[in-house]
Amino acid sequence: MTAPVIVYSADLVVPITAPPIPHGAIAVRAGRILHVGDRSWVCAELASRGIAYDEVHWPGVITPGLVNAHTHLQYTGMAAVGAGTYSGFDAWDDAFTDAYHSGSDWRADAATGAALALAAGTTAIADVVTDPEAASALHDARVHGITYWEVMSWTNQEWAARGRAEVEARLDALPSPPGTGLSPHAPYSLDVQPLHEIPDIVRERGGRIHLHLGEAALEREFEHAHPDPWHSRRLGSFRELRGAGFGTGATEFVDQLGVLGPDCHIAHGVYMTARDRAILRSRGTTVALCPRSNAVIGLDEPPVAAYLVEGNPLAVGTDSLSSSPSLDLMADVAALHVLARSQGYTGRDLSELLLRAATLGGAHAMGLDTGPDRTGYLAVGALADLTFFDIAVTTVDDTIEHLVTAGTGTASATVISGEVRHASTAFTEQTGVTA
């Protein structure tokens, strides 16, 4: 028996890898996209092949499912920390550490986070996990993405003695699907040896790497007088390197250790010089921008306009509720639009680029944009991961601009692998479809 075909049509369909389609449609069969195009063409195509279908029409916008390229779902219960305002990374970290040690049900909090993300139109997530209780959130919620086991605080000695074996066991125990990987927390919270070995542990298994980079001001590159490269000296950590008077920035530091590459993406990228941004581009490493988290923590603005002008691959993340007001990725997309314009980016393509970052960009960051389970865009054969927005459709350009600048809270339904996983009351009233 052939699987039934559902045609999802809308006033505007935005495939990302093809031009936007007014009165467009996506035919879905067995969790994958069978056709994308003009609604009348898709219906005629199915009819000509003798394929019966049901149609669900949405008087708004359909995009590829949103991809949240950086969050920690297990911190969903720490919204009290995220509701504060801080003077910088250390002040926020003090509040975070107090709350972290006050005890939480990580499994339940991570499940709540996955449900919130789904309701906000998210179909794939880069989820950083610090405690094993939270490790099955994506798997249990049947959300795509990568679960990253977070690695931090190992000294070179402890890493050699037991750290490496422990981390390998944690990585191998992560539930799959989704994909798995390791997240070396940050250049300053691990010694050199773990930072050097973690990429190989992941790469031997074909997994993914993700780290916080350029989030703390101390990672910034500064001028120094050392004539020799830092790696010609036996330095045990980034902090030791700084203590020895080297001004090497964190990006060059992890690059020398072999951490970067197309199988690695970074979160934040706030404290990045032009040279740092060039290193990221040359290694094929995507930056997941988290502007609302940066603002809560009291960091400087990420150089959004520079990334856009220079052509860095970009994605968008909410970070967790411990540093952000919500898991609604469109709120970060709107914040990026404001930052890019205030930093002088004048291109008419801004909304289009940001919508791409929030979908295909995130999929690319996690290696999910190619291969049999590709997602992040609407094309034949890709997973049928869709987000339905309650946005009035006018001209194509104005509608996309409206979605990007005012799309917060407008995700009305979420389809993952062809299955309706979230439907708002308005969506159900309009279409008769429930989750």
The footprint of Zn ion (CB under 5 A) covers 319
Question: Given the complex with Zn ion, which of 109 and 319 has the nearer CB atom?
Answer: 319
CB-nearer residue toward Zn ion: 319 or 401:
319
Provide, rounded to whole angstroms, the least separation between the CB of residue 318 and Zn ion.
10
Contact 181, 207 (CB under 8 A): yes
CA 296 → CA 270, 312, 324, 340, distances in Å? 14, 24, 7, 18
Residue given tokens 């067995």 in the structure block: 30
CB of 293 to Zn ion, least distance (A): 7
Across the chain, how many H-helices and E-strands are there? 18, 15
Q: Assign 332 to helix, strand or coil.
A: helix
Report the residue closest to Zn ion, judged by CB. 319
Q: How far is the CB of 319 from Zn ion (least distance, A)?
A: 5
Shortest Cβ 382–Zn ion spacing (Å): 28
- Least distance CB 147 / Zn ion (angstroms): 14
Strands (DSSP E) along 97-151, which ranges?
122-129, 144-151
- Among residues 276 and 319, whose Cβ is nearest to Zn ion? 319
Q: Which is nearer to Zn ion, 319 or 352 (CB)?
A: 319
Least CB distance from residue 324 to Zn ion, whole Å? 10
329: burial class by Cβ within 10 Å (0-12, 13-18, 19+)?
buried
Distance CA 225, CA 219 (A): 18
Name the residue nearer to Zn ion (CB basis): 263 or 319. 319
Cα angle 221, 226, 230; round to 5: 70
The structure tokens 């691959």 sit at 313
Six token digits for residue 316: 């968008």
Q: How far is the CB of 10 from Zn ion (least distance, A)?
A: 33
Q: Are 127 and 72 in contact (CB under 8 A)?
A: yes
The identity of residue 86, as a single letter, is Y
**Residue 296 CB, nearest distance to Zn ion (Å)?**
12
Q: Whose Cβ is closer to Zn ion: residue 61's or residue 336's?
A: 336
Both structure tokens of 315: 């994605």
| Distance of alpha carbon 384 from alpha carbon 382, whole angstroms | 6
What residues have CB less than 8 Å from 21, skipping those under 6 apart? Answer: 12, 13, 14, 15, 36, 37, 38
Shorter beta-carbon distance to Zn ion: residue 127 or 319: 319
- Decide whether 10 or 128 has the Cβ nearer to Zn ion: 128
